Structure 1
Amino acid sequence: MMEQDPLSQLRDIHLPQPGGFWPPAPGWWILLAIALTLVVLAFVLLRQKRSKNRWLGTAKKELQRLEQNAVADNHWFAALNQLLKQSARQRYPERIPESLSGEPWVRFLLETSPKDRVASRPVVEAMVNSAWRPVPGCRPEEAVAFARVWLGGQKC
């Protein structure tokens, strides 16, 4: 005779061990892929913007150099106009600003100036004309001030 109770041979119910943190669920992999894509995209866009605006930093350094060597002669004003034309070619290539001179160049500078267009007209005219006149009609400080304002408004 077997007097064994079959229920006594059963073990208690054991819950399975909780899963570890690795490997993550598929949703976490998708989230990681999206986050990495966004980081790479932000890096590429920032790098493009910096390389696109590199000319502006160079132009501001050149303007500072011109300001330190400011002399009221036509060669200095020609160098300042050359700097502004190079900067305009970078910012407005479709308008071909390097081919402008005289009154069209003055109008272009005033149209693209960020502020004080009417008040700046005499300074800009004198600055442009001083590049070819033997006796400049503009003070270098005024010309540098306008160039700094003009370059300061040039953002891509």
Structure 2
Amino acid sequence: MNPQDPLAQLKDIHLPDPVGWWPLAWGWWMLLAVLLLAAGLLVWRWRARRRRQQYRREALVVLRDAQRRYRAATPGPEASRRYLQDISELLRRTVLSGLPERLHPAVAALNGRQWLALLDTTAPTKSGFEEGPGQILAEGPYQPNPEFDDASLYALVSLWIKRHRLDPHHLPETVKPEIVKKGAAHA
């Protein structure tokens, strides 16, 4: 080593300590707060939707029980009528659970083709009740020996329960006058 060489006298570069990740800068705190708020909002909306849709899950359980009882029963007209009555009652209860109370009297008064029209209007697939396997629900419980395909009826009712849309403003014309009357009374 040459004492006259100024470069030889230089020492290594002294690096500063690395910057720590804690404490966080205020921007990271803001981002964390926004993310927590968004996560809380998503959980709240998910739980609210789940509570609103609870009646669907309960209706599917009742439908499965009705089908299980029908298949376990002794084949005959009495079992068929009972099954059709159970499904009709279940559908009516499901519709009433999904609509505002002010519409309950108008919907509860529907029967026959008007009732099937309401089910078709709110169904994901049209004409399953008025023209398909669901048409037996209008008169089947009152026939001496109703004949129907229980598998296709079960599939139709199950699909309706899972995916129906009960928007009070898109109901059949037979219910709409009641909406107008009730809406005018509340205004």
Rg bigger for which structure? 1
- CA shift, 1:22, in A, is 2.6
CA RMSD of aligned residues (A): 2.8
Of the structure 1 ranges 37-46 and 113-122, higher mean CA displacement relative to structure 2 is found in 113-122
Of the structure 1 ranges 143-152 and 28-37, higher mean CA displacement relative to structure 2 is found in 143-152
- CA shift, 1:154, in A, is 2.5
Alpha-carbon distance in 1 for matches of 2:162, 2:56: 9
- CA shift, 1:43, in A, is 0.8
Relative to the length of structure 2, the TM-score reads 0.64
Corresponding residue number in structure 2 for 1:32: 32
Is the contact between residue 63 and residue 148 of structure 1 (CA under 8 Å) also seen in structure 2?
Answer: yes
Corresponding residue number in structure 1 for 2:21: 21
Is the contact between residue 110 and residue 121 of structure 1 (CA under 8 Å) also seen in structure 2?
Answer: no
Corresponding residue number in structure 2 for 1:48: 48
Alpha-carbon distance in 1 for matches of 2:147, 2:132: 10
Corresponding residue number in structure 1 for 2:93: 86
Of the structure 1 ranges 124-133 and 43-52, higher mean CA displacement relative to structure 2 is found in 124-133
Aligned residues: 143
* Aligned: 1:67 with 2:67: yes
Structure 1: give runs of 5+ residues left out of the alignment.
1-13
1:55-113 per-position Cα deviation (integer Å, ceiling 9, x unaligned)? 11111111111111226432221111011111112334465333321221011112222
Relative to the length of structure 1, the TM-score reads 0.75
Determine which of 98, 101, 107 is the counterpart of 2:111.
101
Of the structure 1 ranges 47-56 and 17-26, higher mean CA displacement relative to structure 2 is found in 17-26
Higher relative contact order (CA 8 A, sep 6+): 1
Corresponding residue number in structure 2 for 1:154: 164
Alpha-carbon distance in 2 for matches of 1:115, 1:122: 11
